[in-house]
């Protein structure tokens, strides 16, 4: 049977005559380069979209500046035991002792500043506002300052929750007043040191160590001195005073309200870069006089260490990440 030829061409080729004609047209055409298109400037990005650069001004933090620079996307964290105080709380007697100690200490060292962890926004200054009792707390650190990325927050929360679940509540008490200095030797602290309960607190710290190592954070001190700070003062830089601060054990911890804050001397010109306020208004001291610590222990030590004043129940641990605060009961679910 004869095959029919298809009328549909598979591929269409131009004839040689058409190629010649096309080449003649291209050669005769005067092709001039076109000027480049003008680039349009984009409008500036709104400040509501891009956050301004973070600047720490020590003048608005009583002269303190960060020893660890602020990093976008990084969260400061801290693990501690919280002790609630107040005039009408179960710890009201300790509250009164602390108030008396602060009064006496500040009479001799006016540069001392109170450390009160306010439980509400109206109690930050430690004063009654609109007749409301300031709700305050003391912190006993179980970690150094920790710096987390966003994806590490839940891992640390899970670890601390498991530690709380596997631990039992216990009795602790304060034993003495002491001076402790932060790692940077830039601030000195008036503290209440722990007596009973030391070994139980140490067990919580040891349980936390693997979790900190897993996220490459510095673990707690090998021989910690568990304490609650009640006041602090800026320390002079060594070159500013011939009288050096007394040697202090390296196991001291910074107060929990100033995560990794390094507080240099107010007279250092290096601490007044452009954009920073003048720090000369913030006084410094060389150290807390040993006689003051001795006098406080003689005057209030027996009362502090008594079972009715300085003894308390540790029944929970707290993890603060940025402004997020989580608390878990010991032995709880």
- Report pTM: 0.68
Instruction: Please tell me which residue, 305 or 90, carries the higher pLDDT value.
Output: 305
At residue 97, does pLDDT exceed 60?
A: yes
**Residues contacting 118, CB < 8 A, separation 6+:** 124, 126, 134, 135, 136
Burial grade of 48 (CB within 10 A; 0-12, 13-18, 19 or more) = exposed
Task: Please state which of the ranges 72-76, 225-229, 241-245, 311-315 shows the lowest mean pLDDT.
Answer: 241-245
pLDDT bin (cut points 50, 70, 90) of residue 179 is very high
pLDDT of residue 176: 97
Neighbours of 101 (CB within 10 A): 20
Judged by average pLDDT, the poorest of 8-12, 148-152, 193-197, 310-314 is 8-12
**Would you say residue 167 has pLDDT above 60?**
yes
Please, which residues have CB within 8 angstroms of residue 326's CB and are 6 or more apart in sequence?
A: 157, 160, 161, 318, 319, 320
Catalytic residue among 54, 78, 151, 227: 227
From the list 139, 151, 199, 287, the catalytic residue is: 139
Could you confirm whether 88 is annotated as catalytic? no
| pLDDT at 24 (0 to 100) | 53
Average pLDDT over residues 54-64: 46
Residue 82 and residue 88 in contact, taking contact as beta carbons nearer than 8 Å? no
Return the pLDDT at 89: 82
Per-residue pLDDT at 246: 42
Return d(Cα 27, Cα 102) in angstroms, integer. 97
Alpha carbon 79 to its chain centroid, in Å, reads 11
Give mean pLDDT, residues 254-262.
Answer: 37
- Distance, in Å, from the CA atom of 277 to the CA atom of 59, rounded to the nearest integer, reads 6
Active site residue 227: yes
Query: Which tokens belong to 226?
Result: 């568990």
């Amino acid at each position: 049977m004869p095959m029919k030829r298809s009328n549909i061409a598979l591929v269409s080729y131009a004839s040689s005559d058409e190629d010649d004609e096309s080449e003649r047209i291209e050669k005769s055409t005067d092709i001039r380069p076109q000027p480049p298109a003008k680039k349009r400037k984009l409008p500036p990005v709104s400040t509501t979209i891009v956050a301004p650069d973070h600047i720490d001004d020590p003048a608005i933090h009583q002269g303190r500046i960060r020893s660890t620079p602020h990093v976008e996307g990084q969260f400061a964290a801290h693990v501690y035991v919280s002790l609630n105080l107040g005039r009408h709380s179960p710890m009201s007697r300790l509250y009164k002792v602390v108030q008396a100690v602060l009064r006496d200490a500040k009479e001799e060292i006016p540069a001392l500043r109170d450390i009160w962890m306010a439980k509400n926004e109206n109690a930050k200054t430690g004063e009654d506002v609109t007749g409301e009792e300031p709700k305050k707390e003391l912190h006993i650190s179980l970690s150094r300052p920790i710096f987390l990325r966003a994806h590490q927050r839940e891992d640390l929360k899970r670890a601390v929750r498991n530690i709380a679940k596997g631990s039992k509540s216990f009795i602790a008490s304060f034993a003495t007043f002491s001076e402790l200095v932060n790692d940077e030797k830039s601030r000195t602290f008036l503290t209440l040191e722990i007596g009973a309960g030391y070994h139980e607190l140490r067990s919580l710290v040891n349980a936390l160590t693997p979790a900190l190592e897993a996220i490459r954070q510095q673990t707690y001190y090998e021989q910690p001195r568990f304490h609650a700070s009640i006041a602090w003062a800026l320390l002079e830089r060594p070159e500013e005073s011939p009288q050096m601060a007394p040697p202090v054990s390296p196991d001291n911890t910074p107060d929990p309200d100033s995560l990794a804050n390094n507080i240099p001397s107010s007279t250092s010109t290096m601490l007044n870069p452009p954009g920073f306020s003048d720090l000369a208004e913030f006084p410094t001291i060389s150290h807390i006089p040993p006689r003051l610590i001795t006098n406080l222990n003689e005057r209030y030590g027996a009362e502090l260490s008594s079972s009715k004043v300085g003894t308390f129940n540790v029944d929970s641990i707290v993890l603060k990440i940025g402004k997020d605060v989580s608390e878990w009961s010991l032995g709880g679910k």
